[in-house]
Amino acid sequence: MVDRARKQTAARWLPWLILGAVLIAGVIIWSLTQAGSSDVGALNGRFPTFVTIFLGIFIEAVPFLTAGAIVSGFIEVFISKQALDRFIPRNPIAASFMGSVLGFVLPVCECGVVPVTRRLYQKGLPLSVGIAFLLAAPVVNPVVLASTYAAFGWGPMLAGRFGFTILIAFVIGLIFYFAQPEEVLLPESPESVLLPDSAYGDAQGGGRIWQALAIAGDDFTDMGRYLIVGSMLAAGMQTLVPQSTLLAIGSDAFLSVAAMMILAFVLSLCSTVDAFVALSFSNTFSPAAILGFLVFGPMVDIKSALMFLSVFRRRIVLYLILLPMTMTLVIALYINLNVGW
């Protein structure tokens, strides 16, 4: 049964690898077209840049995806559905709020939060709690709190990042309280279902730990293809779209916020380090635009949006992009136009 599940997983990798190859080929062809000739030297400017950015994003994300997969495996083996039911409040408002601050208990970034959320859903986590956790956890955790404080200190930027992230995640989670799980979540695939204890050895003592690690390996393999393609897309966007194009509009009240949010989506930075990148733009963009970067980017970027496809139906993924984007844009624009900062 294990071999069958692994073969099915390997088969699902094929179209993603093909898509990745097409993306790389597209970057090469575009580079040659821009150069106006087929000279191999034309690749020296853009293709190495693409590879460098891709590896930077991928290598930065892999440890966090690994951590998230391990947490997912241990949740599956050591946390029962009954224990989860006792932990979650019955009141929908309290439940959504708990989901938005759950990252302090399960500190994961935008790469690690997806496998954890999927596993919690398989354990019976309410839909609204999982959505709020998915959107808030990449910011609302101790590591990001420390990095944001190191970059901006105590003040409105730190308070605004955490306060508005919790607010947006809470509201969107509450919206999904009224949805039916079968309309939102993908049906479980064979490789995502917990295999019998005999497939991983003795489930007593250390056997349960090995079982959890085996599940973590399956989750990492399943999520890894989305990470690879998402990293390629982010690298391709950064290679093909000059950042100067986005930065040139930093003085406009509306366009500066939109540009920083687009930049956050394209750069696909890990939420543990994005505060230092945002700080480098503080002399060019308004504080509200920087805040939009810090709130929206960890919720949704290219790689995490693709990883959402392993949990949610496609139209739901679109909602999970548009709803945080709209709410962040409205909040940042209001601050930009009405609050002296």
pLDDT tens digits for range 221-256: 766 666 677 667 667 766 776 666 656 665 667 788
Q: Three-state DSSP class for 168? A: helix
**Residue the block writes with tokens 């993908």:** 186
pLDDT of residue 336: 87
Is the backbone of residue 153 left (phi > 0), alpha (psi -120 to 50) or beta?
left
How confident is the model at residue 12, as a pLDDT? 52
Within 13 A of 227's CA, how many CA atoms are on the CB side?
A: 28
Question: Distance of CA 299 to CAs 98, 145, 270, Å?
Answer: 17, 15, 11
- The model's confidence at residue 24, banded by pLDDT at 50, 70 and 90, is low
CB neighbours of residue 276 within 10 Å: 14
Q: Please determine, for residue 184, whether its predicted confidence score (pLDDT) is greater than 80.
A: yes
Q: Per-residue pLDDT for 296 more than 90?
A: yes
Domain parsing of the chain, residue ranges: 2-338
User: Residue range 56-83: average pLDDT?
Assistant: 71
What single DSSP character describes residue 269? Answer: -
Q: How far apart are CA 311 and CA 184, in angstroms?
A: 9
Residue 177 half-sphere exposure, CB side, CA atoms within 13 Å? 18
- State pLDDT tens for residues 27-45: 555 554 554 544 445 455 6
Please choose, from the candidates 114, 124, 2, the residue with its C-alpha nearest in 3D space to the C-alpha of residue 69.
114
**Rounded-to-integer distance, Cα 277 and Cα 62, Å:** 20
> What b-and-e string marks burial along 21-58, b requiring 16 or more CB atoms within 10 Å of the CB?
eebbeebeebbbeebeeeeeebeeebbeebeebbeebb
Which positions ≥6 away from 110 have C-beta within 8 Å?
64, 138, 270, 271, 298, 299, 301, 303, 304
Q: What is the pLDDT of residue 40?
A: 47
Name 240's Cβ contacts closer than 8 Å, sequence gap at least 6.
27, 30
What mean pLDDT value characterizes the chain? Answer: 76
Report pLDDT digits (tens) over 305-335.
888 988 899 999 999 999 999 999 999 999 9
Average pLDDT of 168-174? 95
What is the mean pLDDT of the segment spanning 184-210?
A: 58
Q: What pLDDT digit, counting tens, does each position of 119-146 carry? A: 888 888 899 999 999 999 889 988 888 8
φ/ψ of 109, rounded to 5, equals -95, -170
